[in-house]
Every structure is written in C-alpha cells, then in structure tokens.
Amino acid sequence: MIAMTQLRVGERAKIVDLSQVSNLVKRRLLDMGVTEGSEICLKCTMPLGGPFMIENYGQCVGIRRNEAKNIQVKPL
C-alpha cells in the first residue's frame, strides 16, 4: 500500500484508504464516485507541487497534491 503521490503517471491503482483525507474533499470525491475500492489511473501531475488528475471509469477528477498524499492506494 502506498500513497497516491508515489504512483507514476499512467499507472493504475485501487483506492484502499480515504480516511485521512479532509471531510469536505472526501465528500466531493464520493460525489464523483471515487471511493474506497475504486480503480483509478493517474493521468497527470502539475509542476511545483500542483494538482493531480486521476481517472475513474472514464471520469477525470483533479485534486490537490496534499490531498493525494493522504490517499492510500494499491497499484494494480
């Protein structure tokens, strides 16, 4: 199990733990169907500690790096 920030661009992973993510962000992710057990793919990252873009069943979502750091995933 690793933090999402350790994924390489293009790598696929399954979300294992969202409990460390702030409540508001977790709510929003849930709204977009990103929960524990979702399969995601890291699409790209922005420079200088900028946001991450992940894909989940054809849906792309952007989140900040410091939130991604708190998301535990298991590479597939």
Residues that bind another protein (CB under 8 A): 22, 24-25, 27-33, 43-51, 53, 57-64, 67
Look at the block and give the residue holding tokens 């350790």.
6
d(CA 19, CA 60): 21
Q: How far is the CB of 42 from another protein (least distance, A)?
A: 12
C-beta of residue 1 within 8 angstroms of C-beta of residue 64: no
Q: How far is the CB of 51 from another protein (least distance, A)?
A: 5
For residue 9 the two structure tokens come to: 């661009």
Q: How far is the CB of 38 from another protein (least distance, A)?
A: 10
